[in-house]
Amino acid sequence: MKTKIVVLTGAGVSAESGLKTFRDSDGLWEGYNVYDVATPEAWERNPSMVQDFYNMRRKDVLGAEPNPAHYALRLLEDKFDVTVITQNIDNLHERAGSSNIIHLHGIITKSQSDINPKLVYDIAGWELNMGETCELGSQLRPHVVWFGESVPMIEKAAAIASKSDIFIVIGTSLAVYPAAGLINFVPYSSQKIIVDPNSPAVNANNLRVINGRAGKAVPQLVNDLLRDFE
């Protein structure tokens, strides 16, 4: 049976594609108040502002390209059974060719019905506007998980993390739960690897921290893994 690698990614994996992280200096949450744009209350209060915020993010994503870290993760599939669990709402893992991707916080290229989150649609282009409705006639909103909302994919993600032989964490401050707790589901003896230039403090058995930027450190790590597991 193939070795199972599970990769948990955050905004840092897409930083070198030109997409801003959230909590670094000059990160998105420096310029915006989370509660104005990324909560159900914000959507109630000022839906146009929320749509505008995500329209800008969508425009950025469509204009960005995967970087060497995204492409290297795709190469892991040559030898390993790989699942990418991402907190990112961009589609750069898809565009780099990864096959198994779980979007914990949704994906910005899709919309969902305001009254039934299971009604999900592709968005053509970068704009989603007020007045665009689902098949039930209700307003469409971005298909993303906001602060205060449940994370429907977390149980599936935890089950997969619990099966990992190697668990790689790339570019996340691990500040947001439940995603940050996934590492606790990884078997005690499995190897854990963190790639981040400013790694969060993590207490885990069999942990290796690589203090580097994803665009350079991930291709190196992937090379090593492909070589060592002949």
Positions annotated as catalytic residues are 105
Q: Using CB under 6 A, which of 5, 17, 19, 22 touches ligand APR?
A: 22
Stretch that binds ligand APR, among 16-24, 48-56, 153-161, 182-190 (CB under 6 A): 16-24
DSSP class of residue 151?
Answer: -
**Residue 61 engages ligand APR in binding (rule: CB under 6 A):** no
219 binds ligand APR (CB under 6 A): no
- Rounded Cα–Cα distance for residues 128 and 67 (Å): 26
Q: Which of 3, 4, 27, 77 binds ligand APR (CB under 6 A)?
A: 27
Q: Cβ(18)–Cβ(215) under 8 Å?
A: no
33 binds ligand APR, rule: CB under 6 A: no
Nearer to ligand APR, 103 or 134 (CB): 103
Q: Does 197 bind ligand APR (CB under 6 A)?
A: yes
Distance CA 53, CA 33 (A): 11
Q: What are the structure tokens assigned to 216, written together?
A: 């350079």
Closest-approach residue to ligand APR (CB): 12
Nearer to ligand APR among residue 134 and residue 182 (C-beta): 182
| Residue 213 structure tokens | 């930027």
Q: Given candidates 55, 87, 98, 139, which one binds ligand APR under the rule CB under 6 A?
A: 87
Residue 222 CB burial class (10 angstroms; 0-12, 13-18, ≥19): buried
CA-nearest of 49, 48, 51 to 59 is 51
Torsion sign over Cα 183, 219, 93, 54: positive
Verify binding: residue 67, ligand APR, rule CB under 6 A.
Answer: no
Range 157-186, binding ligand APR (CB under 6 A): 171-173, 175-176
Residue 26 has φ and ψ, to the nearest 5°, of 70, 10
The three-point CA angle 11-14-18 to 5° equals: 115
Q: How far is the CB of 189 from ligand APR (least distance, A)?
A: 26
Residue nearer to ligand APR on the CB measure, 33 or 133? 33
Query: In the complex, which residues of this chain contact ligand APR (CB under 6 A)?
Result: 10-12, 15-16, 21-24, 27, 87, 105, 171-173, 175-176, 196-198, 200, 213-214
